[in-house]
Structure 1
Amino acid sequence: MLMARLKVSLRSFFEETRGSLMVESVVSLPLLFWAMAATFDFFEIHRYKSVREKGTFTIADMISRETRAGGLTSIYLDNAKILFDEITNDNGVNQIRVSVVSYDKDDDEYGIVWSQVRGTGPMGELTTAQVKDSHATLPDVADGEEIILVESTSSYEPLFNVGLNDVTIGTRVFSAIRFAPQICYEGVCGLQN
């Protein structure tokens, strides 16, 4: 008997077509707007990171193809930062760090040949002390081989307040030197202490 009443009540509830459009709108529209804003912000974070990865790859590839005898200059790296800003479509909120890292097989340590930072942010120039035991984060290379390490950092501020705070986006790209035996910076070649 109780089950029969319950079935009748449930059937009556589901077959009911009367309602208040205003009440349903007040409940559902804010949730719909929040879901649309959250979807936009989540996809925008992925786009933001993807564009920065492409910019970082471009800078690393550009430097890896250099063959100048005197090496890169300060103006070259300033312009690389400007190019990165143009690729990412942000002016002034990005920071890039370009470093050349060498490996010494005898000591089983990495060392910094040179490191330069452009833009404002938390990154400073890398030192040999910071990378010498970085086997987990640096690729395996042959003894004496140098690689280019390009890193970038940017801060993403969500457009809508959907529960996301500012997100720091960091990218890191390694590249082999392609056409020259090494990449120098303003005549600085060889390991630095």
Structure 2
Amino acid sequence: MWTKLLTRLQRFAEDTRGNMAIEAVIWLPLILGVLSAMFSLHDTYRYKGLNTKAAYTISDALSRETDPIDDAYLDGMVDVLEFLTISEGPYSLRVTLVRYDGDTTNANGTINVGEGYTVEWSQVRGNFTALDNAMLAEAKAELPIMLHNERVILVETRTDYVPPYIVPGLTATDMFYTYGFTRPRFAPKIVWKDADQVASTN
């Protein structure tokens, strides 16, 4: 009995006959699913790259400004974000001027302990809320090492993305959140038009 069973199993293993229609029905959904997932992953990383480039483009443009920044300028930066990412929106932008208050030594040798990273002003568009010192403290690890009284421009962007084919994880919260920072190039800092206005929303 065992001999017959082994013979039949061997014959089945060596049999190369098949039905193309049945095999296509079995494998076609899997192949199409894999191709769709690969296409969505490729398009997702392409779109994430566009968001990163857009954030640094806006940051670089702001770093070159010597005149005060106003609402119209920030609205223009949102238009730049829309143009560079080519998504359906919504588009969110937050620009924050961060100053580092380090330790200083007086003439008599007394050390004044600084307050660390502080927000001078923060302006937002879209779904962001204005950055404050408490929120900035939580992101301390992501900020660069700075000299006393040095400033950086922190630019954060967020856009929504709908993949061509739904793949779990591609629409996760904050997946398309990008931040970048740049030191002012031609002035010690960039100034918001209304010096008394610490934050506003649109």
| TM-score relative to the length of structure 2 | 0.82
Match of residue 111, structure 1, among 113, 118, 122: 118
Q: CA deviation at 1:167?
A: 2.7
8 Å contact kept, 1:151–1:170: yes
**SS of equivalent to 1:113:** strand
Counterpart of 2:182 in structure 1 is 175
**SS of equivalent to 2:159:** strand
Mark the CA change 1:23 to 1:4 in structure 2 (over 3 Å): closer, same or farther.
same
Unaligned regions of 5+ residues in structure 1, if any?
Answer: none
Unaligned regions of 5+ residues in structure 2, if any?
Answer: 103-112
Mark the CA change 1:179 to 1:10 in structure 2 (over 3 Å): closer, same or farther.
farther
Q: Percent identity?
A: 34
Q: CA deviation at 1:15?
A: 3.3
What pairs up with 1:17-166 in 2 under 5 angstroms? Answer: 17-68=16-67, 71-105=68-102, 106-118=113-125, 120-121=126-127, 123-132=128-137, 134-164=139-169, 166=171
**SS of equivalent to 1:152:** strand
What amino acid is aligned across from residue 160 of structure 2 in structure 1? S
Give the Cα–Cα distance (whole angstroms) in 2 for the partners of residues 141 and 167 of structure 1: 33
**SS of equivalent to 1:183:** coil
Q: CA deviation at 1:10?
A: 5.5
What amino acid is aligned across from residue 33 of structure 2 in structure 1? W
**SS of equivalent to 1:63:** helix
Q: How much is the aligned-residue C-alpha RMSD, in angstroms?
A: 2.4
Q: CA deviation at 1:92?
A: 3.5
What count of residue pairs does the alignment treat as equivalent? 186
Give the Cα–Cα distance (whole angstroms) in 2 for the partners of residues 131 and 86 of structure 1: 29
| TM-score relative to the length of structure 1 | 0.85
Give the Cα–Cα distance (whole angstroms) in 1 for the partners of residues 24 and 139 of structure 2: 56
Give the Cα–Cα distance (whole angstroms) in 1 for the partners of residues 54 and 167 of structure 2: 28
